[in-house]
Structure formats: C-alpha cells, structure tokens
Structure 1
Amino acid sequence: MSDTGTSTDSDAHDKDHDSSPASGQPPEPGGHVEGHGGDLAVAAFRAHGIDTLFTLSGGHVFPVYDGAVKAAEPLRIVDVRHEQTAVFAAEATAKLTRRPGLAVLTAGPGVTNGISAVTTAHMNGSPLLVLGGRAPAFRWGSGALQELDHPPLLAPVTKRAATVHETDRIAADVADALALAARPHRGPVFLDVPMDVLFDRAAVPAPVAEERLPAAPDPVGLAAAAALLGDAQRPVLVFGQDVWMDGADEAARRAAETMGVPVVANGMGRGVLPNGHELLVTRARAAALGGADLVVVVGAPLDFRLGYGVFGGRDGSAPARVVHLVDAPEQVSAAGPVAASASGDLTLVLDGLVEAWTQKGRPAAYQRWCEHLQAAVRTAAQSDRALLRGSGASIHPVRVYGELLRVLDDDAVVVGDGGDFVSFAGKYVEPGRPGSWLDPGPYGCLGTGLGYAIGARLARPGAQIVVLLGDGAAGFSLMDVDTLVRHKLPVVMVVGNNGIWGLEKHPMRMLYGYDVAADLSPATRYDDVVRALGGAGETVERADDIGAALARGFASGVPYLVNVLTDPQAVYPRSTNGV
C-alpha cells in the first residue's frame, strides 16, 4: 500500500498496527487468485467473512460489482439512494455482527457524501472498510471526472486512509485494511483504487484473515482497580459499546453479578443486563452516578455522555474516584483524573478484575447501596406510569414508548435517530438482550436511521426491527425506504412528529425569547411518503390508537411507518452536569 502524498496515510491513529502479523501473507503453497482488481478485492472480502456490499452505483467501481456477482460465493449487493446510507448500513452490520462492514463508494462526491457516516463509525469505534473509486492514475492531474485526492480528507477520521496504486497489491491491502479495522480499538479504514488499476488484472496469493490473540491486561492496573473496589462503599459499573463489540457481554454480566455492583448501561452496553435485572439501575442514573464513591467505566469514553468523567458530589458527598477499563491503551482517558486503569481484551479485563476483587473477600459488600438504588428505580418506574399510560388531547412522546414496550420482543433491535424523541427512548426503552440497541453515538449525526435499519434487517433477519425517528431526522434518510422496498426488507418506522427541531427551538427561546429556523411543517404525512415509495403506514392522532397501529406495522411484512403527532411542548428534561 502506498500513499498519494505526504498526508494520505493516517497510520498515526493506530501506531502499533505494524507489529501484528500481516494478513496478506500467502496461505498454503499454490493458493492464488487471478482476475481484475474487483476479483482480487472480493477474494479479500470473502476471506474476512464479508457477504454483503453496500453501495450506490458508480462507474469507477464497476469491477468490484463484477467480482461480487461472479465470485464462487457471490456477495449480496445492496444499492441505496445516498452514499451515507451505504456507510451507515455497513456500520450497523459491523455493530450487530461484530465483524467489519463494507461500503463501496464511487469517486469524488460518492466518497465525500459518505464522510459524515465514516466519522460516526470512527467516533463509535465500529470496524468498517470503505473502498472508494478514484480517477484513473494515468490521467491524474489532468482534470478527469470526479478527480479528488480522498485520503487526506479521510485521514483524521479513520485508522488508515490510503491509495492502492498497483493491481497486484489490492488483495493484500484490502485484507490488511480489514484486519486493521477489526483490531482493538476498532474503527473505519479507507482505501481508494484508481479506476485503471482496478480494471487491470493480476494473479496474487489468495488473501487470508488475520489470526489475533486477545491482549492480556496489565495485572498491576487490575490490582489497583480491585483495591479501589475493595475500599468503595457505593460503586457503580458503567457498561459501554465496547463491552459488546469486544465480545465481553457475558463477562460483564458475570462481573456485575459476582461482585453485586449496580450497573448503568450506555450505548450498546444496553441489554448486557436485561430489562428488569435487579442490578440494572439505568433508570436511576442520576442517583447512581451522583451518589457513587467509585465509578468503573468499562468500554466507553469519558465524554459528555458521562459528564466527562466527573461523578459523585450528590448531597454534598466527595467526588467519586474513577476506574477506566478499555480495549486498547490509547483509549484510557487523558482528559480527567483516573484513579486506575487497565486495557486489553475486555473479557480478560473483567474476569481478571473479579478474580482480584474476590481475593479481597467482600461478598455482599454493597448490598445497602444496591437496595438504595433499587428503591430509586422503583420510584422512577412509579412516576413514569402516568406518562407511559397517559391520554389526552396531545400525545406525549413517552406514551409512544409505553405502547411500544408492550409489543417488543426480547430480541428486537431498536434503532434511534433523532433528538428529543430518541432521548425519551433512551430513558424508557431498555433492550432485553445485548447487541439490540443502535443509536448515532457521541458524534450525534442525524440520518443514521434508514441505513442502520437496512443493516439491522440483514444482520438479524428473524427479529423485529423498529426505527425511532424524530420528524427532523426523518428528512435525512426517508428516501431510502425505496431501498427497503426494492430489497424486501420489512421494518417498522415510528416518527415522533412534533413539527419542530425540538433540541433547538426550546433552548433558543429560553436564551433569546424567540426562535428561528426551528419549525417544520406541522402534521406532515410522512406515511404518505412511505406509501409512495412502495411501503405502507398511517398517521396517529389519538394516544389510544398507537398500540393498534404498531401491531399493524409489525404484522404487515413491508416497510411500515407509524406517524405519531406528538406534543411540541413536551421537552426532554436535561441535567446540567451531564449525568
């Protein structure tokens, strides 16, 4: 793999990747693949277990399509209506399967249209390969169609961004890129290939997948963390996305249950403890994180979602000490005080923590604290009941979730794409199983909804897939209902339609006494849009009709949108300290 200039390879984002075995090494003697560049790329895709390619058609990448169609094991090609949807769908596949997803984008605007989605994957730590087309090398600099040097644009938001300049390097470089994407800390990798290089032919050793041993954590860091747990009276565990992505969900549940430590779930850490578990205190999040004397954050950054790592202080108590357990050394927070940390394979990290803690001999040490938080969860549930069951002239968004919770299966996948409407979902919808919650993550990029829905339906063909959309967010991706229809991918979409940009309108009015650019057309018939694209749906104006509409959606077997007209005055309450 070679660069197109001085800044086209972002290996600085993963400085130790060259220390691992090269995934492009030849397998058994005599194992070769021959063909054009697309055939060589597809051989590498297959070696890494990829069976689906997301794309929007473009001539610069035709050989990849040809290779996907004519392979001994053809890849499924899912063509979408906007390149960001292709990348979001690939990311959803990666999140749910815990293997790299694949998006193939044509040159120039095809690549630049996908950059927000690549950035989302980067912020989420989602393993992903984006393979881009590129103007022909022999014409470079002469103004060919869609000529653009992509890697410098992608370098800041990928583990690597580079150009493959030789046909006989395509298979090895694609295989290496997929291995790098899957190596903790995970993330997207970008490669582009000049059109003439991709159309050319070569015979090369068959690519093979990298075999990677789990990284063992530093026992000193684990001992320090266990000592802090031994001294704590009010500890809390926070489980984040990387608990799921690193395959540590079972170890996380074992750790919580063995030590008896209450848990707050964050992102794809949701579902590690199922809804109703006695140690799950996400509904009492403020009380837990505000009253803790020790917070052990596992597989999540100490970003704004976790108050930048500042916990405790509730009712005059001292600030909580923080332990940070992550999948790679560079993920340990440098932004705030961390009392102890450890990095490595998170199953080994969590099992090692439990072993070190057990040596302290503290069974049932936190029982009183757990009982306090369980009481707070019951109080919250009691106070929620009126909103979840409420009726009236205006529909509160929480009522939508009260009805949704009645019909969701334990293995349903819930996709959130929106502001206030999805914030309410984060508070009230708790998955029954791990790997069942998809939201945009810390980058907060609207427009993930339909791409995530496409990827989720393919990754979980037998599960309910429900997409929760604010009406503002719906405008970013609703055209890709056409993709759902053409590829026969039934999902249920629920739009919380309050006719405003809720995250902006109310704060601006509070600050300035007025608002601008914060209104949408009231009561827009988004279900009519879905019907026009070949799906089905309905608009709901009365709270008592929500349940029946959802049931019709799940029974329909087609892309179905339930357009619920919600109260624009219902604003999601936000704390001032981030917790």
Structure 2
Amino acid sequence: MRARRGAGGRGPASGTVEGHGGALAVAAARAHGIDTMFTLSGGHVFPLYDGAVGAEPALRVIDVRHEQTAVFAAEATAKLTRRPGLAVLTAGPGVTNGISAVATAWFNGSPMLVLGGRAPAFRWGSGALQELDHPPLLASITKRAATVHDTDRIATEVDAALVLADSPHRGPVFLDVPMDVLYDRAEVTLPAAVRPAPAAPDPDLVAVIADLLVRAARPVLVLGQDVWIGGAEHAARRAAETIGLPVVANGMGRGVLPAGHPLLAGRARVGALGGADLVLVAGAPLDFRLSYGGFGGQGGGPPARVVHLADAPPEATPHGHCAVRACGDLSALFDAITAAWERVGRVGMYRDWAAHVRAAARTAAQSDAPLLGSAGRPIHPARVHGELLRLLDEDAVVIGDGGDFVSYAGKYIEPARPGGWLDAGPYGCLGTGLGYALGARLARPSAQVVLLLGDGAAGFSLMDVDTLVRHRLPVVLIVGNNGCWALEKHPMRMLYGHHVAADLAPSTRYDDVVRALGGAGETVARPEQIAPALRRAFASGVPYLVNVLTDPEAVYPRSTMGV
C-alpha cells in the first residue's frame, strides 16, 4: 500500500509503505496497536502529525498544554490498556519538558515510546534552533535512547523500540529523528510485530518456594504493578485463594483482590508484614514502600524470609533478606507455585493466620469510620474520601496526584477491579494528574474517571483542563485544598520551629480556573456539601472540579506513608 503523497499512511501489519518519515513511523506504531498520539505542536515533528492524519484508520492526535502531560497521558494509556503508549515531543525544550514524566514511567515499568524531534542533521553543530543532543539526557531513564539517522530505518527502529518497551521488564524507549530525515521520503517493508516468548519458571526454584510456604506459619503475598501490567492478575488471585495467603497490594496491584475480599490485608498492612515469617513479593521492587525488604521482627521475633518474584532478572532486588529470587512470566510463576504447593501443602493450613489478619483489618476499618464520616470544620480530608466511596462504580478509575490528600486516599480507597487505581509510583513525581486523567478517559471511555489533587499538585498541571475541554473529555477533579504543602510543613515545623516555603494561598478558587478554561466546578466549605457537589460533578458531562477546603492541621502520618 502506498501513502498519499504529502500524507501519512499505513500498510498491513507487515507490507510495503511509501511516504515521509512521519508516515513510516506511524505505520510501524499502528502495527503494534497504537491508536493515539499525545503531543504538543512543534515544527520539528510535523511529519508525524501528517502521518497520523493520513493513516488508515487515522491515528487520534491529542494535543496538550505542557509536554509532561503528553508523556504522562501516554504512560496512563500504557498502564490501563497494557500496550505501549506514544508521546511525540518537539526538539530541545519539548523533550526536556517531558523528562520527569519519562523518569516516572521508567520507575513504574510502563511500556512507552517517546519520539522526539531533532535539529536537522545537515546543520548539526552550527547552532540550529533548539539543537540539543537528547539521547545522553534520556539514557539513564529509558531502556534505549538513540537517534535515527536514516529515513529508511525509521519504521524498523520504531518497531524495535516498541518490542523493547513491551518486553519484560517493561519501560520507556526514546528515539529522536533529525528534522531533515523525518521530512525525507522512503519506501520500506514494515517488519512483522513479534514479541519474544516469556521465560518459563525454573522448576527447582518453584519447588523451593513451595517448600518455604509449607514450612511457614504466617505467610503474606505482596502484589505490585507488574502483576497487572504483565497480565498476571488472574493467576495471582488463584494463587492467593488456593493457598490462602493474606494479600497486601500497592500501585496497580490494587484491585487484583477486590475491596472487601477476605484475604485483602491492606488495612492491616503494617501488622501483617511485621508479623509475617515469609513474604512473597511479586511484581514490585523492594524499595522504601516495602521497607527495603525488611519484614517480620514484630515483638522481637526474627526477620521474615523473602521470596522475590520478578518479571526479568534486573528487577530481582539484590538487597533484603531474600531466600529466593525467581524471574520470568509472572502468570506462569504463580501457576507453577500454586501447582507445586497443591502437591505438598494442605487446604486451610494458614486459616488461623488469615483470620487474625482479617480481624485486624476489620478493626482498623471500624476505627476509620469516625474520620470518614467526620462532621468537623474545617473539613477533615478523610470525609471527602468517605463520601466518594459511596459514589464510585465498580469500574471507576481513581487517580492520585498529591501528597497528604492522596495518602489518605491510598489508605481508604480500594478498587473493586484491577486497573482501577493510578498514582505516580515510587518516583513520587507531582504533576501526573491531568495527563493520567486524560489517558484514563480515553482508555476507559464509559467509566467514571476521578482525579484526586492536592492543592500543591494542582499547580503543576491544572492548565491542561483546557485539553480535556477542547477534546470533550469529562473528568471529575477533586482538590483537597488545605492551603499548604502539608507533608512538608508539619515535619519542618517540628524540626525547626518554622515552615519556610510550605504555605500556599488559603482557599484559592481552583474551580474558577476550571470554569475559565471551559469546564465547571464549585467550592465546598462544609462537610454536608461534599456529596451533593460530587453528584453534580458526575452528572455534569464536562471537566468538573470540586474544590474542598480542608483542615490544614490534619496531616497524614509520615510513618505510614506509601500505603
């Protein structure tokens, strides 16, 4: 198939395509199932836009107000659809504006291709507009960062980049293309999109893990993002239910066991991990969120033994008290462990331990009730989440972008299904919110999409409400507005007796900002106003911001951050 002259086009999954570099790149991306390009306009990358418009069918182009939003939206698409996202950034400041978002995708293991513009090759070194050698800046936060120097190599390089991004351990890949190379034309044969076969579990390691389980009295299973992104959620749930393992979930591991499941230990997380004698960590690094792999020891007991299940060898954390590190396809690992345990274990062997954890979780939930229903003024942030919980559908996507306000959300909001929770992950980058909301609305067009913003975080990306409005993408935004950087203000005041650079303007009308950009919203100052405001937001059909004035003295306990 030939592209129309001056326009993009695509052939079948493999076939001959003729066109400029943008058409070739889009054809290769299309072959991998990519249907949306997130970008902010720039002359260095015009052929990519032309290629998107001329493709059959056309590639949807979503233009944003800041490049970080484009990359965050591509990452959210990858997280929710479990196929690579695509962001296109113009040269120089376009690329550098997206770097924090690329780093977030790197730490999250999110598959994504970022295509950058680049100053023309024939002028390189002479000071062309926005001339910058991007790959060295991206090398440490991508699986590969490179420049494509030949037009007839663009499709092949884009194909290879997407295969690499979507191969365990997943992550972002960056390619830039000089302007003259991208505008030039070529005729190429598209490579067939092929994914490598997943690695099979090591049967000897599986047998060791089953033996450790049989010897344990208080095992716990931790589920992280790679369980979801690698499609292992069903195998993980089968393993937990068959063996009878209490489960702690973080990131996109949340929802693998739905809210209310008897094995879900989220509300008893600290006690479960502190009292465990064996912890299986699947699809998550042993980082600060998991005490660097130091579990057990509660009441002066010995540390727990740790089994780390990773989708690729580089993710098998070398530190911690690891008894076993096993790598490979997580679904296959879970199924193999379940089958091995069934040969040597017995049903109900952890029943008392699971009942103990469940009782602790129930007690913790009961103790939360006063805060979730608090009638205090100023509004306690937990009351916002208490009202939201009553209105969420099972398939809702809840997004957290902030510190204090979102920490409360992580404690109280449990998704009913996997793929229902998005946060910044271990890199902790603020500003993900509008990009994640944009990607979520496109990936889940019929679901509720709720973005929880701290008022500090809102300052990073709120202008991209304009993008939601222009592209007719309704999202409910809730700002916990306490007029400060609460997670910094309170510790700083405790340490030094002051809190420099920790205050924001009190009672700022963020809803007015959204109205000015074409959306809607309102400010809430009393607890009884929250639920009616949220109902209006869900019913509005437009980007709607509920600006809740919360208590600046209510701060999430730092000792339990990371839930």
Q: Please, what TM-score do these two structures have when normalized by structure 2?
A: 0.97
Question: Quick check: 1:520 aligned with 2:497?
Answer: no
Residue 482 of structure 1 aligns to a residue in which SS?
A: helix
For the 8 Å contact 1:44–1:208, the answer to whether it is kept is no
Question: Quick check: 1:389 aligned with 2:370?
Answer: no
With over 3 angstroms needed to count, the CA separation of the structure-2 counterparts of 1:408 and 1:576, relative to structure 1, is closer
Partners of 2:295 and 2:240 in 1: CA distance: 19
Q: In the alignment, what sits opposite 1:13?
A: none
* 1:190-209 Cα shifts (integer Å, max 9, x gaps): 00000000000000102321
Residue 519 of structure 1 aligns to a residue in which SS?
A: coil
For the 8 Å contact 2:407–2:561, the answer to whether it is kept is no
Residue 358 of structure 1 aligns to a residue in which SS?
A: helix
Identity percentage of aligned residues: 75
Question: Quick check: 1:286 aligned with 2:259?
Answer: no
Q: In the alignment, what sits opposite 1:376?
A: 360
Q: How does 1:178-257 map to 2 (within 5 A)?
A: 178-257=162-241
Residue 170 of structure 1 aligns to a residue in which SS?
A: helix
Partners of 1:323 and 1:509 in 2: CA distance: 40
For the 8 Å contact 1:48–1:208, the answer to whether it is kept is no
Question: Quick check: 1:343 aligned with 2:322?
Answer: no
Counterpart of 1:284 in structure 2: which amino acid?
A: A
Picking from 441, 452, 460, the partner of 2:436 is 452
Q: In the alignment, what sits opposite 1:99?
A: 83
Residue 256 of structure 1 aligns to a residue in which SS?
A: helix
Partners of 1:84 and 1:78 in 2: CA distance: 13
Q: In the alignment, what sits opposite 2:148?
A: 164
Question: Quick check: 1:506 aligned with 2:490?
Answer: yes
Counterpart of 1:481 in structure 2: which amino acid?
A: V
Q: In the alignment, what sits opposite 1:570?
A: 554
Q: How does 1:141-152 map to 2 (within 5 A)?
A: 141-152=125-136
Question: Quick check: 1:60 aligned with 2:35?
Answer: no
Partners of 2:476 and 2:514 in 1: CA distance: 11
For the 8 Å contact 1:124–1:441, the answer to whether it is kept is yes
Question: Quick check: 1:531 aligned with 2:515?
Answer: yes
With over 3 angstroms needed to count, the CA separation of the structure-2 counterparts of 1:302 and 1:274, relative to structure 1, is same
Question: Quick check: 1:399 aligned with 2:355?
Answer: no
Residue 19 of structure 2 aligns to a residue in which SS?
A: strand
With over 3 angstroms needed to count, the CA separation of the structure-2 counterparts of 1:100 and 1:167, relative to structure 1, is same
Partners of 1:294 and 1:526 in 2: CA distance: 47
For the 8 Å contact 2:13–2:192, the answer to whether it is kept is no
Q: In the alignment, what sits opposite 1:126?
A: 110
Partners of 2:371 and 2:451 in 1: CA distance: 21
* 1:105-158 Cα shifts (integer Å, max 9, x gaps): 000000000000000000000000000000000000000000000000000000
* 1:409-429 Cα shifts (integer Å, max 9, x gaps): 010000000001000000000
Deviation at 1:71, TM superposition (A): 1.2
Partners of 1:47 and 1:30 in 2: CA distance: 8
Deviation at 1:29, TM superposition (A): 12
Counterpart of 1:99 in structure 2: which amino acid?
A: R
Partners of 2:155 and 2:328 in 1: CA distance: 29
Partners of 1:486 and 1:534 in 2: CA distance: 8
Partners of 2:390 and 2:560 in 1: CA distance: 32
Deviation at 1:364, TM superposition (A): 0.5
Deviation at 1:212, TM superposition (A): 2.7
Q: Which runs of 5+ in 1 are unaligned?
A: 1-26
Partners of 2:463 and 2:13 in 1: CA distance: 49
With over 3 angstroms needed to count, the CA separation of the structure-2 counterparts of 1:206 and 1:370, relative to structure 1, is same
Residue 558 of structure 1 aligns to a residue in which SS?
A: coil
Partners of 1:301 and 1:548 in 2: CA distance: 41
Picking from 301, 305, 312, the partner of 2:285 is 301
Residue 308 of structure 2 aligns to a residue in which SS?
A: strand
Partners of 2:270 and 2:378 in 1: CA distance: 29
For the 8 Å contact 2:487–2:558, the answer to whether it is kept is no
Q: Which runs of 5+ in 2 are unaligned?
A: 1-10
Partners of 1:245 and 1:477 in 2: CA distance: 26
Q: How does 1:33-72 map to 2 (within 5 A)?
A: 33-72=17-56
* 1:71-124 Cα shifts (integer Å, max 9, x gaps): 121100000000000000000000000000000000000000000000000000
Question: Quick check: 1:416 aligned with 2:409?
Answer: no
Residue 394 of structure 1 aligns to a residue in which SS?
A: coil
Deviation at 1:168, TM superposition (A): 0.2
Partners of 2:143 and 2:555 in 1: CA distance: 38
For the 8 Å contact 1:57–1:106, the answer to whether it is kept is yes
Residue 307 of structure 2 aligns to a residue in which SS?
A: strand
Partners of 1:28 and 1:413 in 2: CA distance: 34
Counterpart of 2:254 in structure 1: which amino acid?
A: R
Deviation at 1:214, TM superposition (A): 2.1
Runs of 4+ in 1 over 3 A off after TM superposition: 27-30, 576-579
Partners of 2:62 and 2:41 in 1: CA distance: 10
Deviation at 1:482, TM superposition (A): 0.1
Larger CA deviation: 40-49 vs 222-231:
222-231
Q: In the alignment, what sits opposite 1:487?
A: 471
Question: Quick check: 1:136 aligned with 2:120?
Answer: yes
With over 3 angstroms needed to count, the CA separation of the structure-2 counterparts of 1:567 and 1:213, relative to structure 1, is same
Partners of 2:41 and 2:12 in 1: CA distance: 36
Partners of 2:56 and 2:440 in 1: CA distance: 26
Q: In the alignment, what sits opposite 2:4?
A: none
Partners of 1:72 and 1:578 in 2: CA distance: 44
Deviation at 1:336, TM superposition (A): 2.0
RMSD: 1.3
Partners of 1:84 and 1:232 in 2: CA distance: 46
Partners of 1:37 and 1:75 in 2: CA distance: 15
For the 8 Å contact 1:43–1:207, the answer to whether it is kept is no
Residue 359 of structure 1 aligns to a residue in which SS?
A: helix
With over 3 angstroms needed to count, the CA separation of the structure-2 counterparts of 1:565 and 1:577, relative to structure 1, is closer
Partners of 2:377 and 2:424 in 1: CA distance: 32
Deviation at 1:362, TM superposition (A): 2.1
Picking from 53, 58, 79, the partner of 1:74 is 58
Residue 237 of structure 1 aligns to a residue in which SS?
A: strand
For the 8 Å contact 2:219–2:277, the answer to whether it is kept is yes
Residue 435 of structure 1 aligns to a residue in which SS?
A: coil
With over 3 angstroms needed to count, the CA separation of the structure-2 counterparts of 1:29 and 1:370, relative to structure 1, is closer
Partners of 1:566 and 1:554 in 2: CA distance: 21
Partners of 2:23 and 2:269 in 1: CA distance: 51
Partners of 1:106 and 1:81 in 2: CA distance: 13
Picking from 282, 290, 312, the partner of 1:328 is 312
For the 8 Å contact 1:470–1:495, the answer to whether it is kept is yes
Deviation at 1:356, TM superposition (A): 1.1
Q: In the alignment, what sits opposite 1:438?
A: 422
* 1:283-324 Cα shifts (integer Å, max 9, x gaps): 000110011001100000000000000011111221111000
Number of equivalent positions: 553
Deviation at 1:28, TM superposition (A): 9.8
Q: In the alignment, what sits opposite 2:6?
A: none
* 1:36-64 Cα shifts (integer Å, max 9, x gaps): 00010011010000000000000000000
Residue 278 of structure 1 aligns to a residue in which SS?
A: coil
* 1:263-299 Cα shifts (integer Å, max 9, x gaps): 0011100000000000001000011001100110000
Partners of 2:130 and 2:562 in 1: CA distance: 43
Q: In the alignment, what sits opposite 2:300?
A: 316
Deviation at 1:337, TM superposition (A): 2.5
Deviation at 1:578, TM superposition (A): 7.5
Partners of 1:558 and 1:512 in 2: CA distance: 44
Q: How does 1:109-124 map to 2 (within 5 A)?
A: 109-124=93-108
Residue 344 of structure 2 aligns to a residue in which SS?
A: coil
Residue 558 of structure 2 aligns to a residue in which SS?
A: coil
Q: In the alignment, what sits opposite 1:554?
A: 538
